[in-house]
Amino acid sequence: MRTLPLITVILFIHIQSISQELTVFKGEEQLPVNQLDDQFWHVVMDEEEYYLLQRTAVETLAKRVDSLKAVVEHRDSIIAARERLLTAYEEFEKRADEHIEVQNQIITTADSLFHGYRSLYNDLKELIATPTFAFTGGLGVVYLEDDVWRPVGMVGLQYHHWQAQYQIGRRYHGVVVGFRLPVLF
């Protein structure tokens, strides 16, 4: 932004007032002065623009400039504070994104472990679990009163760990109710 110099005191330049017109002399050179309004005049000297003002106008403008500088400084401090907040929020967002990424990795790992343990559970369940209902059967021998061992067949039904069997043999019939208790080593 180009600033225009304000002349309040002119040394070595004579201003001559003839009725309402002003003329500025620089040495022997006479420079025309243009009146902009009742309080402002404009002159071009050495290809530079100069403005002639009354002292009260200069003081009023100086106060206005000081006031506007204070407003600019205040707004600059607000902008600086907002930029610091924005930087802090961006850092927070960056850390939150990193945290979310870590959480997603943890969720992926946990999901993988869940499916792995579920698969292992299902495999072990097939190996050691008993069904809700099952038919049982078998062959065996029984010792009778006359010191004779006789073969018998067994047919039964199982509910969870409870078993009921009917034993059939020659001159022998029996019912057995039992409980299945797995022993884990």
* Token pair recorded at residue 174: 């029996």
The verdict on pTM exceeding 0.75 is no
Average pLDDT, the chain: 83
Query: Taking a C-beta distance cutoff of 8 angstroms, is the pair 144, 174 a contact?
Result: no
What confidence score (pLDDT) does residue 28 get? 83
Q: Is the pLDDT of residue 27 over 70?
A: yes
Q: How confident is the model at residue 184 (pLDDT cuts 50, 70, 90)?
A: low
Query: Taking a C-beta distance cutoff of 8 angstroms, is the pair 128, 139 a contact?
Result: no
Amino acid letter for position 106:
I
What average pLDDT does range 138-157 have in this prediction?
A: 87
Strand pairing class (6-7; 48-53): parallel
63: Cα within 13 Å, side-chain hemisphere: 5
What average pLDDT does range 50-55 have in this prediction?
A: 84
Q: Is the pLDDT of residue 15 over 50?
A: no
pLDDT tens, residue by residue, 107-126: 999 999 999 999 998 888 77
Q: Is the pLDDT of residue 81 over 60?
A: yes
Q: Is the pLDDT of residue 139 over 50?
A: yes
Q: How confident is the model at residue 96 (pLDDT cuts 50, 70, 90)?
A: very high
